[in-house]
Chains A and B, each alone.
Chain A
């Protein structure tokens, strides 16, 4: 069966510091991968999606970036965090466009 991992689970970072969040999927090949952010009390905002290694599409212009160095690895990064980057970051995978399955998320607080 497929599983999706995210780490870290929680993170507290100062403004201006870098960020790296990692997501890995097991038990499937060539999944579509997604990064979402959910601000407190808000809905899910799609940040990036990827349909293959090295293929990244950005949904919202901001100071975040994403990379997919391996088929089942998806990384979310920032060079300098802003206060507004605080939120619940969720990685998801899907099998060629159907239901999406989410990882447990990373709760980021920028101070």
Chain B
């Protein structure tokens, strides 16, 4: 079983749609969680951290379910500029700060 698993997609949605990505992780001791965004041929960029209580940043909402070892990202009112690959990332309780990256979910927003 992979340490961090994501549905690779692609998710093809029209502008204005709401889309949700899911991610599961295998290490129950994992401490912190993130979503990164990676545009084609660019470096990953931090989109948001994921907190236990859930958190929202504009059109983006992240949720964490520790019992199910499950993380989600919800994007509302999708824009063309949201087209990218979204990486689910987990810190497996290491003091080195090593992160485990999922393979990514590709989103394509169509006009």
Contacts and interface: CB of A to CB of B under 8 A. Distances in A.
Interface in B57-111: 87, 91, 94-99, 101-104
A26 to B, nearest CB: 16
Interface size bucket, A side? 20 to 34
**Dominant secondary structure at the B interface:** loop
Nearest to B2: A43
A98 B102 contact: no
Contact of B96 (A57, A101, A102, A103): A57
Interface residues of B, number: 21
Interface stretch (A13-21, A61-69, A77-85, A89-97): A89-97
Nearest to B46: A99
A102 B97 contact: no
A105 B96 contact: no
B101 A97 contact: no
B98 A46 contact: yes
B22 interface: no
B103 A99 contact: no
A102 B34 contact: no
Nearest to A55: B96
A97 B43 contact: no
A43 B104 contact: yes
B46 A101 contact: yes
Nearest to A36: B101
A51 interface: yes
B30 interface: no
B96 A32 contact: yes
B43 A43 contact: no
Given A43-B102, A49-B96, A104-B42, 4 more contacts: A44-B101, A88-B41, A98-B32, A99-B49
